[in-house]
Amino acid sequence: MKLLILLVVVVGVVALAQLARVYELSAKLRKRREEDISHADNRLNASLFIVFMLAFYAATIYLYAAYGDYLPTSASEHGVGVDALMSVNIWIITAVFFLVNTLLFVFTAKYYYKKDRKAKFFPHDNRLEMIWTVIPSIVLAGIIIFGLRTWNDMTGEASDDAILIELYSKQFDWTARYAGANEEFGVSNFNLITSNNPLGIVTNEGINESLAELDAKIEELETTVNYERGVLVNKKKDFEKQLKHLHEHHAGHGHADEHAEEGHDEHHGHEGLTEEQLKSEIAKIEEMLKSDKVSVLSDVALEAKQDKLYRLKRHKQRVLDIENFDFSDEQSLSAWEAGKDDKIVKGEFHLPIGKEVEFVFRSRDVIHSAYMPHFRTQMNCVPGVPTRFKMTPTITTDSMRTIMDDPEFNYVLLCNKVCGSAHFNMQMKVIVESQEDYDNWLNEQKTFFVEEVKEEEVPAAPAAEGEPTASIN
């Protein structure tokens, strides 16, 4: 393969060299200077512009015909306005595209160099310039007004009876949360995220679960750090040194009584341990060294673990801080309670047709973007900064399948902000259905303390070639 590439390169270079030599020679023969473009060349290039233009236009028209209806009819209410605006824009820019390119290419082709002609000296013309300042301004004013009207419609407040849904992103999947009966989301806190509480909803159970998990991790890490062989051996050496030191003292002085009043320090190691204590410590370490918990870590790895331990302890403190909130305040109490009936779904989420939905977007790690092209909807999910978007679905999945003539068709939510290695496969199915079906579906969904779901089993994002999608942790 390498040889082949080399060969191609060599052949290419040789070919080019020959080519250039030929040109060099021919130019010399005809005593032609490079800057003198011959009539034939000018004419050739001029005609090529026309040929190019026609081919380009043909290709453009073909592309419009074959791919011009880029997406099926909008499945949301505001999307209809967006599509109308888009068509107007596309019509205008397509017209200008043809007009200006045609003028450009035709003028180039028409006015190519002729020896006996002199160009028209035409340095400026205020009237003309006024025309092409004013006309674009008017067209743009139209586009701006139409555009901003659509924009205002789609970004306005949602009505009070809109369904509240949170779309929560992480590397590399989506979770949807429904507010439940009380129509209010429970408070969430990223410190409380555990595998059972992927959104970190604040409830007693949530806090306890999080603390339990943290404690387990801390203990595990402490064990690893404490049982690290090097650390143990060093500790043991240290104790042995102290012991030796203690003995030397005894031997050196002989008359222990004389020195009694100098303080009992003398009889202890420098950490203030007595001989017995030291011995028992050493025995303990020896015992530990025999256990199968002993690990061997490099300095760097050990330091990393100690660091992590420190961070976990800080994390635990933050969780405890949540617990220490004063809940006598009625509002926080209700927010706290509100989380209990939140419903959490993965893989797919459902929407009732014709009902306004207020989406709230959050992210737990990096920026993602919730993009639902069929609904002409997109909003970034930004860690720490919740965002929102409202829409009303107007076409059920079933109807869209008929429209598309594709029984397999599904609406999707996809990630449209680069977020890591599996960015290209971070998706969730969206189902639009009748109110009744929707109610049934929602009733079946569990409230937030879902059964432990292994991430690999999430049906949504089918992994590429069988690799797990959620890979980073």
Partner 1 sequence: MAANAHHEESFVSKYIFSHDHKMISKQFLITAIFMGIVAVMLSVFFRLQLGWPGQSFGILETFLGKWAPDGVLDRNAYLALVTIHGTIMVFFVLTGGLSGTFSNLLIPLQIGARDMASGFLNMLSYWMFLASSVIMISSLFVEGGAASGGWTVYPPLSALPQAMPGSGMGMTLWLVSMVLFVASSLLGGLNYIVTIINLRTKGMKMTRLPLTIWAFLVTAILGVLSFPVLVSAVVLLIMDRSMGTAFYLSDIHIAGEALDVTGGSPILYQHLFWFLGHPEVYIVLLPALGISSEIISTNSRKPIFGYRAMIGSILAIGFLSFIVWGHHMFVTGMNPFLGSVFVFTTLLIAIPSAVKAFNYITTLWKGNIRLTPAMLFSIGLVSTFVTGGLTGIVLADSALDVNVHDTYFVVAHFHIVMGLSAIFGMLAGVYHWFPKMFGKMLNTKLGFAHFWLTLICGYGTFFPMHFVGMAGAPRRYYEYSQFEFLDWVMDLQPIISTFAIIGALAQLVFLFNFFFSIFRGQVATANPWQANTLEWTTPVEHVHGNWPGALPEVHRWAYDYSNPNYEEDFVPQTVPLKAGEEDH
Bond preceding residue 172 cis, omega within 30 of 0: yes
Q: Which of residues 131-170 bind Cu ion (CB under 5 A)?
A: none
190 touching partner 1, by CB under 8 A: yes
Query: Is the separation of the CB atoms in 427 and 167 below 8 Å?
Result: no
Which of 37, 50, 211, 243 forms a contact with partner 1 (CB under 8 A)? 37
391 touching Cu ion, by CB under 5 A: no
Q: Which of residues 144-173 bind partner 1 (CB under 8 A)?
A: 144, 147-148, 150-152, 154-156, 170-171
Residue 306: contacted member of Cu ion, partner 1, none (CB under 5 to 8 Å, by partner type): none
Residues 6+ apart with CB under 8 A from 93: none
Which of 75, 77, 112, 236 forms a contact with partner 1 (CB under 8 A)? 112
Which of 426, 428, 458, 461 forms a contact with Cu ion (CB under 5 A)? 426
Residues 6+ apart with CB under 8 A from 150: 78, 81, 82, 84, 85
92 touching partner 1, by CB under 8 A: yes
Which of 395, 415, 432, 460 forms a contact with Cu ion (CB under 5 A)? 415
441 touching partner 1, by CB under 8 A: no
Core vs surface per residue 37-55: b (16+ CB within 10 A) or e: eeeeeeeeebeebeeebee
Q: Which of residues 349-378 bind partner 1 (CB under 8 A)?
A: 361, 364-367, 369, 371, 373-374, 376-378
Query: What is the DSSP-derived secondary structure letter of residue 443?
Result: H
Residue 445: contacted member of Cu ion, partner 1, none (CB under 5 to 8 Å, by partner type): none
CB of 442 to partner 1, least distance (A): 26
201 touching partner 1, by CB under 8 A: no
454 touching partner 1, by CB under 8 A: no
CB of 64 to partner 1, least distance (A): 8
Query: What is the DSSP-derived secondary structure letter of residue 50?
Result: H
Residues 6+ apart with CB under 8 A from 284: none
Which of 163, 419, 430, 460 forms a contact with Cu ion (CB under 5 A)? 419
Helix H or strand E encompassing 433: strand 427-433
Structure-block tokens of residue 419: 């977020």
Residues 6+ apart with CB under 8 A from 430: 348, 349, 350, 351, 372, 375, 397, 410, 411, 412, 413
**Residue with Cβ nearer partner 1 (134 or 256):** 134
Rounded distance between C-alpha atoms, residue 167 and residue 379, angstroms: 10
Rounded distance between C-alpha atoms, residue 422 and residue 425, angstroms: 5
89 touching partner 1, by CB under 8 A: yes
Using CB under 8 A, which of the segments 38-46, 259-267, 325-333, 447-455 binds partner 1?
38-46
Residue 143: contacted member of partner 1, Cu ion, none (CB under 5 to 8 Å, by partner type): partner 1
CB of 83 to partner 1, least distance (A): 9
Which of 7, 25, 42, 402 forms a contact with partner 1 (CB under 8 A)? 42
Q: Which of residues 207-246 bind partner 1 (CB under 8 A)?
A: none
Tokens 């870590």 sit at which residue? 297
Using CB under 5 A, which of the segments 219-227, 271-279, 356-364, 413-421 binds Cu ion?
413-421
Q: Which of residues 393-432 bind partner 1 (CB under 8 A)?
A: 408-410, 412, 414-425, 427
Rounded distance between C-alpha atoms, residue 171 and residue 415, angstroms: 10
Contact pattern for Cu ion over residues 356 through 375, marking x by CB under 5 A: ------------x-------
Three-class DSSP labels, 235-286:
HHHHHHHHHHHHHHHHHHHCCCHHHHHHCHHHHCCCCCCCHHHHHHHHHHHH
**Residue with Cβ nearer partner 1 (236 or 376):** 376
Q: In a 10 Å sphere around its CB, with 0-12 CB exposed, 13-18 middle and 19+ buried, how is residue 418 labelled?
A: exposed
CB of 369 to Cu ion, least distance (A): 7
β-pairing, 343-346 vs 173-178, is: antiparallel
Residue 147: contacted member of partner 1, Cu ion, none (CB under 5 to 8 Å, by partner type): partner 1
User: Helices 77-110 and 39-67, interaxial angle, to 10°?
Assistant: 160
120 touching partner 1, by CB under 8 A: yes
Query: Is the separation of the CB atoms in 360 and 184 below 8 Å?
Result: no
Q: Which of residues 250-269 bind partner 1 (CB under 8 A)?
A: none
Sign of the Cα torsion 216, 218, 219, 220 reads: positive
46 touching partner 1, by CB under 8 A: yes
Q: Which residues bind Cu ion (CB under 5 A)?
A: 368, 415, 419, 426
